[in-house]
């Protein structure tokens, strides 16, 4: 089954939804880890394979919070690759852990923030006339993508912290559960749109 598991991970990376579906139907473990410690979901998240991620998260048995040897989850990997669509898909799962930390102690938000700082630094260096081998439009696209991710995560975290604080301060009546708040944040995130001027 190792070969089939590796085949599943490669098919997910290649965004071959038909092959992924076939392998899962054949009984290949949906959470199989390749030699890098990545599952099919992680491979798809890294590759920007939106259709495969959407397919995989439809299975309740897929572990969206499993981490590799560096402690990185599919959400963190999606942040690294900069795919807003995949981040949104992963955040749509009610069991996603946005506070998970990798072996360096970073959350998905920390990773998005670091990528934004790198993009800003690169843009500043580019503006100073240094050639980085990439166009200013490519740098700007990376900056906007990471800014979108950061805004969405910050809104979600702020909303959750607000609900937790409100829940702790209520002394009478029905208390609001954090899980209900989490679902509300995800609903709000799915309707959030970030626009830029061209």
pLDDT at position 109 is 83
Weakest mean pLDDT among 111-125, 146-160, 161-175 = 161-175
Mean pLDDT over residues 52-59, rounded? 98
Weakest mean pLDDT among 17-21, 119-123, 160-164 = 119-123
Domain tally for the chain?
1
Is the entire prediction scored with pTM above 0.75? no
Task: Tell me whether residue 198 is in a domain.
Answer: no
Q: What average pLDDT is seen over the chain?
A: 76
Looking up residue 128, the CATH number of its domain turns out to be 1.25.40.20
Domain range spanning residue 45? 2-191
Q: Do 151 and 194 contact (CB within 8 A), yes or no?
A: yes
Specify which of 67-81, 147-161, 179-193 reaches the highest per-range mean pLDDT: 67-81
How far is the CA of 68 from the CAs of 33, 39, 77, 187, 195, in angstroms? Answer: 8, 8, 10, 28, 34
With b for 16 or more beta-carbon neighbours within 10 A and e for fewer, the 56-92 pattern comes to bbeeeebebebbbeeebbbbbbbbbbbbbebbbbbbe
Name the pLDDT band for 125 (thresholds 50, 70, 90): low
What is the distance between the alpha carbons of residues 49 and 159, in angstroms, rounded to a whole number?
Answer: 29
Distance from chain centroid for Cα 160: 18
């Amino acid at each position: 089954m190792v070969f089939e598991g590796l085949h599943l991970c490669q098919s997910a990376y290649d965004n071959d939804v038909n092959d992924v579906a076939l392998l899962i139907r054949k009984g290949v473990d949906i959470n199989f880890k390749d030699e890098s410690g990545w599952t099919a979901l992680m491979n798809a998240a890294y590759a920007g394979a939106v259709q495969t991620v959407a397919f995989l998260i439809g299975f309740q048995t897929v572990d969206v919070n499993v981490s590799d040897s560096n402690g990185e989850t599919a959400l963190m990997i999606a942040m690294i690759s900069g795919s807003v669509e995949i981040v949104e898909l992963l955040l749509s799962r009610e069991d996603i852990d946005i506070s998970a930390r990798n072996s360096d102690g970073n959350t998905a938000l920390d990773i998005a923030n670091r990528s934004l700082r790198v993009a800003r630094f690169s843009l500043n260096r580019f503006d100073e006339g240094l050639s980085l081998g990439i166009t200013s439009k490519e740098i700007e696209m990376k900056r906007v993508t990471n800014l979108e991710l950061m805004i969405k995560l910050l809104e979600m975290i702020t909303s959750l912290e607000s609900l937790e604080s409100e829940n702790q301060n209520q002394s009478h009546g029905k208390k609001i559960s954090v899980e209900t708040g989490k679902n509300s944040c995800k609903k709000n995130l799915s309707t959030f749109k970030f626009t830029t001027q061209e």
